Amino acid sequence: MPKKQINVRVEEAVYAGIEERAAAAGMEVNEYARQLLADEANDLRHRFLTAADHFAEEWADHFDARFGPDHQGAAPSARKDGRAA
């Protein structure tokens, strides 16, 4: 598949941040940037993230009620025989 080239100028601080994230991902800066741009152009990924965001908004209160806002989990409710549910 033919490839197109994109040249982008960014501030030094932005580049340093990108360089740091690329290193953390074990990637070269150009490889990292290429992956970010590919992800951004992926319609299926955007649809998934939109649906996930909607799900999180819809069910956040239920998750907080069950697992607690500190993500430590609610205490299991006891059964009649004294064992954890």
Residue 78 has pLDDT above 50, yes or no: no
Question: pLDDT of 17-51, one tens digit each?
Answer: 999 999 999 999 999 999 999 888 888 878 888 89
Output the average pLDDT for the chain. Answer: 83
Higher pLDDT, 64 or 2: 2
The structure's pTM equals: 0.54
CB proximity list for 18: less than 8 A, separation 6 or greater: 10, 29, 32, 33
Confidence (pLDDT) at 83: 54
Cβ contact 69:60 at 8 Å: no
